[in-house]
Amino acid sequence: MPGPRPRNMGPRPKIDNPGKIIKRIFSYLRGKNRLYFIIVLVCIITVAVATTTSSVFLGSLIDDYVVPLLGQKTADFNPLLIALIKLGALFALGIFASWLQSYLMAIVSQRMLKEVRDDMFCHMQSLPIKYFDTHLYGDLMSRYTNDTDTLRQMIGMSIPQTMSSMFSILVALVAMIRENIWLTIFVLLTVVVMLFIVKYVGSRSSKHFVLQQKSIGQINGYIEEMITGQKVVKAFTHEQKCKDGFDSINEELVENAFQANKYANILMPIMGNLGHVQYVLIAVVGGALALSGAVSGITIGVIVSFLQLSRNFTQPITQISQQINAVVMALAGSKRVFDLLDEQPETDDGYVTLVNAKYNKNGEIEECEERTEMWAWKHPHKDGTVTYTKLEGDVVLDDVDFGYVPEKIVLHDISIYARPGEKVAFVGATGAGKTTITNLINRFYDIADGKIRYDGININKIKKSDLRRSLGIVLQDTNLFTGTIMENIRYGRLEATDEECIAAAKLANAHDFIMRLPDGYDTEITENGASLSQGQRQLLSIARCAVADPPVMILDEATSSIDTRTERIVQKGMDSLMCGRTVFVIAHRLSTIQNSDVIMVLELGRIIERGNHDALIAQKGKYYQLYTGAFELSSGNQDSDV
C-alpha cells in the first residue's frame, strides 16, 4: 500500500486567463436563465438606487423638514410625515427588490449547475478508457462535488454580491459628487488606501485557494483508494502506513487552507476598521469645513448624507474584497471542471453499423426492424451503394503492434486468426499482454501498426458502439449497479424481457441461487453486490453477457475468483453460452483452456507458441513447462493453474 506522499507539489499553480473562465461560466446563461438574470440585474440596480436615494434623502429630511421646524411653536408636521412615508416606500422597494434578486438567483444558480453537471457526466461517457486509467476516481468525484460547489457559491452569491457592490459604488459616487466635491475627494483618498490593502492581501491568498482545491481532490482520491482496498489494508496490517499517508496529504490540505484563509480572514477586520476610521474623519472634516465656512454648501444635512453615502461607497468595496477569495476559489474549481470538459473525447470515424437482418426471397441479406437472431454489418460505400455482411464472428489480428505510450511498444507482431465458433485461449505471465489484446479487439485502445479485421472489415471502419455491441465481455472484476437482480442482468440488453433475463440466468446457472434470495429477481443490490459472494456476482456478470447474446465473447479471468465447485457449475453454463460463438479466453485454470481450439502462449508482448493443448504438450516448450509444473504441484488435480 502507498505510504506517505511527498508534500512538494512543484511550482505553485495559477489560474490562466480568468476572464475566459468567467465568460465560459456565463455561457450557461441560456433561455429562462438569461431572462431571470436580466431581472436580477434590474433588481440590483433598483436596490442600489433605493439605498443611495434614501441616504441622500436623509440630508434633505434634516435640512428641509427638521431644521425649519426647530423653534416653531406651532409646527405643521404633515410635510415631514409625507417625507417619512416616501422614505419608507423607498426602503420597502429596496427590500422587495433584494428578496426577488435572491430568489431568482437561487433558481439561476441551481439550473446552471445542473447544466454543468449534465455536461460533465455526458462528456465523461465519451472519454476514452485511457483517461480513467490515468486519473484517480476520487479526484474525478471531487470535480462533481467540491469544485461544482465552489461554482455554486460563485454564481449564487459572489457574482450577484459583486455586481450589487459595483452598482452601489457607482451610484454612491455620483450622489457624493452632486452633494459636495471636496468631501468626495477626501473619501476617494481613503479608498485608495483600502484598495492597496485589498490588492496586497488578495494576491497572497489566491494562489493558496488554487492549491486548496487541488489538495481536496488529492485527499478524496486517497480516501476512495483506501475504502476500496480495505480488505488488502487489513490483510497486510498496513493500517498505520495508511494513516501516515492520510496524515501527510491532510496536513498539506490544512497548510494550504490555512494560508488561504489566513489572509482572507484578516481582510474583513482591516477593511471594517478602516471604514470606521473613515466615518469619524468625514464627520470631523465635514464639521470643520461647515464651521469655518471655507467651503460653502456644507450643512448638517449634507454631512449626515455624506456619512451615510460614505458607508454606501466603502462597504461595497469591503464586500468585493471578501468575494475576491470566493471568486478565486470558484475559478480554481471551475478550471478543474472545464479541464474535464476540454478532455478530448474518444474519436470514432466508423461508418459501418450493426443491424438486424434476414434473408429475402432471393436469398440475399436485407435489413429489418424486428429482432431475428441474425445480425449483419451495414457497409455504405462512396458510390452510394450499401452492402450487407452477415456477422459471423471471424476475427483476425494481422501483425499488430501496440504501446500505451508511443515510445514503449508492449505488443509486437501479434497475428491471430479466430474463425467463427472457435475458442482461442491466451496463456502467459502477468504483463505478457493477454488483456491488452482483448482491449484492442473492442477498441478501448487503438493499435500502432497492423490490422484488425472483423468479418473481413477493418474495425476502424466499424462504429465503436456497434463493434462493442457485438462483443460480450466478462471481466475478473465484476461491477454490479444499484438496482434489482433483474435490472443488473438486463444491463446486457436493455430491451430484453423478463423471460429472456431469466433464461440467461438459467444458462449461466445463476437461477438457483437467485431464487433462494429473499425477493428473487427483485432483490435489491447495493454497494456493488456486497451482500453476494464473489462467485454469485460473477454468475450475474455471465448472465448479463448471456442476455446480450453476442456472436463474439471475451472472458477475461472470468472464473478466477470462483471456487472449484462453483466453477464446474459456471463452466456448464459457459459451455452452453460459448456454443457456436467465437470466444477469446484469458485464464489461468487449465480446465478453462485445455479444450480450446487454439492456445496462444505470450511472453513479453510476443506470441511464442500456438496450437491446441495436445500439440503444445508435444512441443514440450513453455506451455508444457507451465502445465507440468502446475500438474506436479497439484498432484494430479486437473483444475490446476497454468
Q: Greater confidence, 362 or 320?
A: 362
| pLDDT classification of 6: cutoffs 50, 70, 90 | very low
Q: Is the pLDDT of residue 301 over 50?
A: yes
**What is the model's pLDDT at position 562?**
62
The DSSP annotation for 174-240 comes to HHHHHH-HHHHHHHHHHHHHHHHHHHHHHHHHHHHHHHHHHHHHHHHHHHHHHHHTHHHHHHTT-HH
Q: Compute the mean pLDDT over every residue in the chain, rounded to the nearest whole number.
A: 80
Q: Greater confidence, 299 or 634?
A: 299
| pLDDT classification of 220: cutoffs 50, 70, 90 | confident
**What is the model's pLDDT at position 502?**
92
| pLDDT classification of 452: cutoffs 50, 70, 90 | very high
Q: Greater confidence, 8 or 600?
A: 600
**What is the model's pLDDT at position 12?**
39
User: Which of 187-201, 455-469, 475-489 is least confident?
Assistant: 187-201
Cα separation, 464 vs 439, in Å, equals 12
* Residue 53 CB-half CA count within 13 A: 16
| pLDDT classification of 67: cutoffs 50, 70, 90 | low
Q: Are 533 and 565 in contact (CB under 8 A)?
A: no
Please provide residue 464's backbone torsions phi and psi, each rounded to the nearest 5 degrees: -60, -40
Provide the H-helix boundaries in 342-493: 434-441, 464-469, 485-490
Cα separation, 152 vs 172, in Å, equals 29
Cα separation, 471 vs 550, in Å, equals 5
**What is the model's pLDDT at position 247?**
85
Q: 412: helix, coil or strand?
A: strand
The segment with the largest mean pLDDT, out of 47-61, 601-615, 623-637, is 601-615
Q: Are 593 and 642 in contact (CB under 8 A)?
A: yes
Mean pLDDT of 168-183: 81
The DSSP annotation for 389-403 comes to EE----EEEEEEEE-
**What is the model's pLDDT at position 142?**
81
Helix (H) or strand (E) run with residue 171 in it: helix 159-179
Q: Is the pLDDT of residue 162 over 90?
A: no
Cα separation, 379 vs 92, in Å, equals 70
Cα separation, 346 vs 127, in Å, equals 5
Length of the chain: 642
Per the structure block, which three cell numbers stand in for 372?
Answer: 431475428
Provide the H-helix boundaries in 390-497: 434-441, 464-469, 485-490
| pLDDT classification of 3: cutoffs 50, 70, 90 | very low
User: Which of 203-207, 521-525, 622-626 is least confident?
Assistant: 203-207
Q: Is the pLDDT of residue 462 over 90?
A: yes
Question: Which domains, ranges and CATH numbers included, belong to the chain?
Answer: 18-341 (1.20.1560.10), 353-390 (no CATH), 395-634 (3.40.50.300)
Mean pLDDT of 578-600: 80
User: Which of 37-41, 109-113, 157-161, 400-404 is least confident?
Assistant: 157-161
The tens digit of pLDDT for each residue in 355-386 reads 988 888 888 898 888 888 788 999 999 888 99
Per-residue 3-state assignment (H helix, E strand, C coil) for 473-507: EECCCCCCCCEEHHHHHHCCCCCCCHHHHHHHHHH
**What is the model's pLDDT at position 9?**
38
**What is the model's pLDDT at position 413?**
92
**What is the model's pLDDT at position 219?**
82
The tens digit of pLDDT for each residue in 496-533 reads 899 999 988 888 888 888 999 888 999 888 777 777 88
User: How many C-beta neighbours within 10 Å does residue 121 have?
Assistant: 10
Q: Is the pLDDT of residue 412 over 50?
A: yes
348-371 core/surface letters (b: 16 or more CB in 10 A; e: else)? eebebbbbebeeeeeeebeeeeee
Q: Is 549 left (phi over 0), alpha (psi -120 to 50) or beta?
A: left
Report which of 486, 477, 532, 543 is spatially closest to residue 509, judged by C-alpha positions: 543
User: How many C-beta neighbours within 10 Å does residue 402 have?
Assistant: 21
Please provide residue 268's backbone torsions phi and psi, each rounded to the nearest 5 degrees: -60, -50
The tens digit of pLDDT for each residue in 229-262 reads 776 677 667 778 788 888 888 888 888 888 777 7
* Residue 416 CB-half CA count within 13 A: 35
| pLDDT classification of 264: cutoffs 50, 70, 90 | low
β-partners of residue 354 are: 377
Please provide residue 519's backbone torsions phi and psi, each rounded to the nearest 5 degrees: -115, 20
Q: Are 113 and 155 in contact (CB under 8 A)?
A: yes
pLDDT > 70: percent of the chain: 84
Cα radius of gyration (the chain): 36
**What is the model's pLDDT at position 11?**
38
User: Which of 122-131, 469-478, 583-592 is least confident?
Assistant: 583-592
**What is the model's pLDDT at position 642?**
41
The tens digit of pLDDT for each residue in 30-47 reads 878 888 888 988 998 888
Cα separation, 301 vs 26, in Å, equals 43
Q: Are 318 and 201 in contact (CB under 8 A)?
A: no
**What is the model's pLDDT at position 172?**
81
Q: 357: helix, coil or strand?
A: strand
